């Protein structure tokens, strides 16, 4: 029983836990400060750093639905590209190494950004997400995917 508690913790596990804790802290901060700043305050912060330009509707409910759907579509693009890359890696029978996994995340990030900027963003005429804002959004999504995936365990096995 005591041997279970004496296991050495990997750096990748510490990094994954740190990423999750950081994301939870940021999300919690946003939800706590949202009533103070509101959607418009968050927009002003993001616009200050040239991440996004938004044309708001008159009603808050329309804004929430519109932006919620945008976030859902961004998430779906990320999931679609991740599944596509995972299937490609299995079909090409690549060995699971650190280089392959890092390369896969870089390719996923690049494809997601390209698909979003080339196809999806045109459907949302009220939101103009800059390249740096798009990179930031998809980087956060893939950090989240990495934190909840077993990729760090696969690296340890290899």
Residue range 40-80, pLDDT digits in tens: 666 677 777 777 777 777 777 787 788 778 878 888 888 89
End-to-end CA distance of the chain: 27
Burial of 135 (0-12, 13-18, 19+ CB in 10 A): middle
The pLDDT value recorded for residue 39 is 58
Contact present, 150 and 10 (Cβ < 8 Å):
no
The pLDDT value recorded for residue 75 is 84
Phi and psi for 115 in degrees, rounded to 5? Answer: -65, -45
Mean pLDDT lowest among 4-13, 32-41, 93-102, 138-147: 32-41
The percentage of the chain sitting over the pLDDT mark of 90, rounded to a whole number, equals 4
* Secondary structure of residue 107 in the 3-state scheme: helix
The pLDDT value recorded for residue 111 is 92
Find the mean pLDDT for residues 107-129.
87
Percent helix, strand and coil across the chain, each to the nearest 5: 80, 5, 15
Mean pLDDT computed over every residue of the chain: 78
pLDDT of residue 136 exceeding 70, the answer is: yes
pLDDT of residue 108 exceeding 80, the answer is: yes
- Give the list of residues 6+ apart from residue 36 with CB closer than 8 angstroms, or none: none
Instruction: For residue 114, name the pLDDT band (cuts at 50, 70, 90).
Output: very high
Based on DSSP, count helices (H) and strands (E) in the chain, helices before strands: 6, 2
The pLDDT value recorded for residue 1 is 47
pTM comes to: 0.63
């Amino acid at each position: 029983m005591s041997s279970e508690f004496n296991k050495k913790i990997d750096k990748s596990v510490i990094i994954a836990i740190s990423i999750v804790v950081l994301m939870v802290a940021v999300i919690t901060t946003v939800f706590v400060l949202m009533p103070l700043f509101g959607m418009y305050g968050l927009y002003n912060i993001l616009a200050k750093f040239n991440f996004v330009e938004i044309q708001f509707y008159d009603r808050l409910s329309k804004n929430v639905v519109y932006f919620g759907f945008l976030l859902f579509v961004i998430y779906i693009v990320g999931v679609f590209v991740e599944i596509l890359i995972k299937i490609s890696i299995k079909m090409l029978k690549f060995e699971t190494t650190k280089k392959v996994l890092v390369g896969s995340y870089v390719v996923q990030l690049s494809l997601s950004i390209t698909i979003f900027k080339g196809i999806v963003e045109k459907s949302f005429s009220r939101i103009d997400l800059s390249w740096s804002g798009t990179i930031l959004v998809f980087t956060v999504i893939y950090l989240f995917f990495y934190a909840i995936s077993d990729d760090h365990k696969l690296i340890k096995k290899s």
